[in-house]
Amino acid sequence: MARFVLVRLAATVVLLLVLSFVVFGLLHLAPGDPARNLAGPREPTQELLDAIRREHNLDKPFITQYVLWLGQVFQWDFGESIRSGITVTSELASRGLLTFKLALMAFLLTIGVAVPMGVRAAWKAGSLFDRGVSFLSIVGVGAPSYAIGLVLLYLFGVWVEIFPVYGTGDGLVDELWHLVLPAITLAIGMGALVFKLTRTAVLGELEQDYVTFARSRGLSERTVRSLVLRNALIPIVTSSGLVFAFLFGGTILVETTFALPGIGGYLASSVTFKDIPVVQAVTLLTAVVIALTALAVDVLTYLIDPRVRARGLT
């Protein structure tokens, strides 16, 4: 177990280093002079450009710049936003927490609803319930998140007036209440995907010979269900990890629809404004969350699947 985790952790560290190098290269891949990009929309003087180059080490070789920047990142220092002049770290602290809460709520809704429905649909394959939910899942997968959000806003925010239509509210309880509709919007599309994956995984296990043998031996349906779910759990766990990573990194449209000050909308506006320090920080943060989620999925797969434990790798 320890060796497996250490190997996966080392691979994650290497992956994050490569990603950090790519993210740092965004400053130099952007069209024009990096110093002028960091100066913002104003017309800079030569003295200002020279000062920016010294401050951001742009007068040093590229590798040296990267090493110095990486050292600042380890100290949680991403510099200042070109647009607002506020440190990027302070902006990420509040916006990132909001996006994390939204992604976590959507994830819990997705797993709590889609997985049981997928299991039930597979167990009653061909029934009215299976056909009805399968049809709805096709609609959920194909519907854009912003369209779902607008429909929910009109139905439950304007027409029925149950939920607030924008903002984050005051206090923890009010904030979570404001996040209900955005979380449902995110969960519908991802839940439809998880439902289909769960249904397919359980159906595949039900067709295996060990299920027929277990039933022929007189094992109860509850015991058979336990065996099937244990074996179907591996692809479900894998897809669930990918869902959370996608939810955290794919909130831009939903946050814009519901006017939420999360990192999704922050990234979108920063790209438009060419606020490179913010783009670097948000991109790297998203990459870290995705990499750590993948690591957690690998560890869970190791614990669940005895075949992986026997090989010591996936």
At residue 87, the 3 state secondary structure works out as strand
Which pLDDT score is estimated for 226? 83
Which pLDDT score is estimated for 1? 65
Whole-prediction pTM value? 0.77
Nearest alpha carbon to residue 198 among 300, 117, 303: 117
Residue 142 identity? G
Neighbouring-strand partners of residue 87: 80
Which pLDDT score is estimated for 314? 46
Q: How many CB atoms lie within 10 A of CB 305?
A: 17
Q: Which of the residues in the chain have pLDDT under 50? A: 313-314
First to last CA, the chain: 13
Phi-psi region of 204 (alpha: psi -120 to 50; beta: other; left: phi over 0): alpha
- CA separation (Å) from 77 to 90, 187, 226, 251, 290? 10, 33, 49, 24, 21
Q: CA angle 55-66-98, nearest 5°?
A: 85
User: Which residues does 258 contact at the CB level (< 8 Å), separation at least 6?
Assistant: 149, 153, 165, 166, 178, 181, 182, 185
User: Where are the domains positioned within the chain?
Assistant: 2-74, 89-311
Task: Please give the Cα distance from 83 to 67 (Å, whole number).
Answer: 25
Q: How many CB atoms lie within 10 A of CB 285?
A: 21
At residue 84, the 3 state secondary structure works out as coil
Name the fold adopted by 89-311.
MetI-like fold (1.10.3720)
Which pLDDT score is estimated for 243? 81
At residue 80, the 3 state secondary structure works out as strand
